[in-house]
């Protein structure tokens, strides 16, 4: 098996960046979900409530990020220009993140038509994963990385009238597999030089029904409705596996993938 694709989402719910290689850090892939939109009251915004977020493109680097969205001028934000840390919440996790650039808040508010506040979290994050409390995590829903096998998507598409893409499921690592859902049984996996641990299956939600190219919700709630018919487990509707890294290094498209490490 080999690593087929690497996806990075610098802003929570933004359009994925497909890259040829990525640095694996304790918080996951470098630049992945380090930025997030808040509602100004400590809550967070995602494509579940605001599907147009999936059309936002982000180019992140060591000192900041450039944001692009349909009908909007480019927005450049430098981490050094952000204000002090303030309390934010992602599901049940309460922790501090940087914020404070008024121009960015107005830019996102204009684009989405709702009150927005841009937040950034770096390696100083105090947030930790639930199952592996020593592992730091940024603005991901619960765990730093998500992996899906290509055979799993092919099996799902064989059940759908209209096939979907990997972008519907927002993975970080896509592995070329021959058997559908074989990734579910991997306790550990080595990708290139980095060892990962399978923490739990990934529970799926309504966000999977948002078309990543058009930002439109599928009126038939696909592919979620089909998954509901045959992929129910302890985490609800499951598709893909959540990972934590057990080492640092670089992963590259084409790297050998070895279950068990």
CA distance 52 to 67: 14
Task: Determine, yes or no, domain membership for 179.
Answer: yes
Q: Is the dihedral of CA 17, 19, 23, 25 positive or negative?
A: positive
221: containing domain? 2-12+138-259
Over the stretch 61-103, which tens digit does the pLDDT of each residue have?
Answer: 999 999 999 999 999 999 999 988 999 999 989 999 999 899 9
Residues 160 and 210 in one domain: yes
CA distance 8 to 246: 19
Distance between terminal CA atoms of the chain? 13
Are 67 and 22 in contact by the 8 Å Cβ rule? The answer is no
Kindly report which listed range (61-65, 126-130, 156-160, 238-242) carries the lowest average pLDDT score.
Answer: 126-130
The predicted model gives 146-158 an average pLDDT of: 98
Kindly report which listed range (102-111, 127-136, 224-233) carries the lowest average pLDDT score.
Answer: 127-136
Note the pLDDT of residue 157: 98
CA distance 181 to 200: 13
- Count other C-beta atoms under 10 Å from residue 62's C-beta: 7
Note the pLDDT of residue 203: 97
The predicted model gives 138-156 an average pLDDT of: 97
User: Among residues of the chain, what percentage have pLDDT more than 90?
Assistant: 90
Residues 237 and 155 in one domain: yes
Task: Determine, yes or no, domain membership for 129.
Answer: no
Residues 162 and 106 in one domain: no
Over the stretch 201-241, which tens digit does the pLDDT of each residue have?
Answer: 999 999 999 999 999 999 999 999 999 999 999 989 999 99
- Classify residue 151 as exposed, middle or buried by CB count within 10 Å of its CB (0-12, 13-18, 19+): middle
pLDDT confidence bin for 168, thresholds 50/70/90 = very high
Q: Alpha carbon 173 to chain centroid distance?
A: 10
Q: Alpha carbon 243 to chain centroid distance?
A: 12
Query: Structurally, how many domains does the chain consist of?
Result: 2
Note the pLDDT of residue 9: 98
pLDDT confidence bin for 59, thresholds 50/70/90 = very high
Last residue of a domain, one of 64, 94, 120: 120
Task: Determine, yes or no, domain membership for 126.
Answer: no
Residues 6 and 58 in one domain: no
Note the pLDDT of residue 41: 85
Task: Determine, yes or no, domain membership for 17.
Answer: no
Residues 71 and 164 in one domain: no
Note the pLDDT of residue 261: 67
**Does residue 40 surpass a pLDDT of 90?**
no
Residues 239 and 165 in one domain: yes
CA distance 18 to 172: 9
Residues 94 and 174 in one domain: no
Note the pLDDT of residue 42: 78
Give the full edge-to-edge strand order of the sheet including 93-98.
44-45, 35-38, 117-120, 93-98, 85-90
Residues 148 and 224 in one domain: yes
**Does residue 124 surpass a pLDDT of 90?**
no
Task: Determine, yes or no, domain membership for 128.
Answer: no
- pTM, two decimals, is 0.95
Half-sphere exposure of 60 (CA within 13 A, CB side): 25
Are 53 and 47 in contact by the 8 Å Cβ rule? The answer is yes
What is the DSSP code string of the chain? Answer: -EEEEEEE-SBTTSPPEEESEEEEETTEETTTT-EEEE-SSS-EE-TTT-GGGGG-EEEE-SSEEEEE-TTS--EEEEGGG---EEEEEETTEEEEEE---HHHHHHHHHHHTS--EEEE--TT---B-SSSTTSB--SSSSSSEEEEEHHHHHHHHTT-SS---GGGT--SEEEE-SSTTGGGG-SEEEETTEEEEEEEEEE--GGGGB-TTT-PBPTT-TTHHHHHTT-EETTEEEEEEEEEESS-EEEETT-BEEET-
């Amino acid at each position: 098996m080999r690593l087929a694709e690497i996806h990075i989402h610098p802003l929570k719910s933004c359009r994925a960046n497909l890259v040829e290689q990525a640095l694996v850090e304790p918080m996951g892939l470098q630049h992945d979900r380090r930025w997030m939109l808040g509602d100004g009251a400590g809550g967070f915004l995602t494509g579940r409530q605001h599907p147009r977020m999936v059309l936002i493109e982000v180019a992140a680097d060591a000192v900041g990020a450039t944001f692009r969205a349909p009908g909007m001028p480019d927005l450049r934000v430098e981490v050094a220009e952000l204000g002090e840390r303030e309390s934010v919440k992602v599901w049940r996790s309460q922790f501090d993140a940087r914020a404070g650039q008024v121009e960015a808040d107005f830019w996102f508010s204009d684009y989405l038509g709702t009150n927005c506040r841009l937040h950034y979290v770096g390696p100083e994050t105090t947030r930790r994963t639930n199952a592996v409390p020593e592992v730091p995590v940024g603005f991901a829903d619960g765990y730093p990385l998500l992996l899906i096998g290509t055979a799993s998507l092919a099996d799902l598409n064989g059940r759908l009238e209209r096939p979907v893409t990997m972008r519907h499921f927002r993975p970080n690592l896509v592995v070329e597999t021959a058997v559908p859902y074989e990734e579910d049984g991997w306790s550990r996996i080595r990708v290139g030089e980095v060892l990962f641990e399978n923490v739990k299956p990934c529970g799926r939600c309504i966000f999977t029904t948002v078309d990543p190219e058009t930002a439109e919700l599928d009126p038939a709630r696909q592919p979620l409705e089909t998954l509901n018919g045959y992929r129910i487990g302890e985490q609800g509707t499951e598709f893909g596996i959540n990972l934590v890294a057990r080492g640092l290094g670089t992963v590259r498209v084409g790297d050998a993938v070895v279950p068990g490490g």
